[in-house]
Amino acid sequence: MLFGKTMKIDGDTDTYELHPNIKSYALKDVGFQISNAGNYVLERSVDPTSPYNKNQMLRVTVAKDLSGFKMATTNASGNSRVNIFKGTHAEGNVEQYHFILQNLIDREILQIKA
């Protein structure tokens, strides 16, 4: 998957884009790690009961030059996309997903595309 200017998670009504004021130090402050390729990667569990239960994950990758990003909800191993808006635990998972994204919006990393 290539880096894009906008991303939308399966089932979500909002489309997200990088904030124009994004800074690399803000990425590090919220927990992004630098990958071997130099990109910034954030993986967070969307399980509302425990951040250590990695059944379903939100993965956000920002290009090293801050020009684009990728975003997906995946299974624990990260090799299969998951629609967190469906299923028995959807309500709690979606709430946790929006909490994580709101933190990224508050820190001027992402914004909802108008």
Q: What's 6-112's CATH class?
A: alpha beta
Paired tokens of 15 = 């489309």
pLDDT band at 13 (very low <50, low <70, confident <90, very high): very high
Q: In angstroms, rounded to a whole number, what is the distance separating the alpha carbons of residues 69 and 39?
A: 9
DSSP lists the bridge partners of residue 112 as 16
Predicted local distance difference test score (pLDDT) of residue 7: 94
In this model, does residue 21 exceed pLDDT 90? Answer: yes
Q: In angstroms, rounded to a whole number, what is the distance separating the alpha carbons of residues 46 and 53?
A: 9
Torsion of CA 19, 7, 35, 32, to 10 degrees: 50
pLDDT tens-digit series, residues 37-81: 999 999 999 988 877 777 889 999 999 999 999 999 998 888 889
pLDDT tens-digit series, residues 84-109: 999 888 899 999 999 999 999 999 99
Predicted local distance difference test score (pLDDT) of residue 1: 58
What phi, psi does 82 have (nearest 5°)? -130, 140
Residue type, 5: K
pLDDT tens-digit series, residues 24-40: 999 999 999 999 999 99
Determine contact, residues 100/58, Cβ cutoff 8 Å: yes
Structural element, H or E, at residue 58: strand 56-62
The ranges assigned to domains in the chain are 6-112
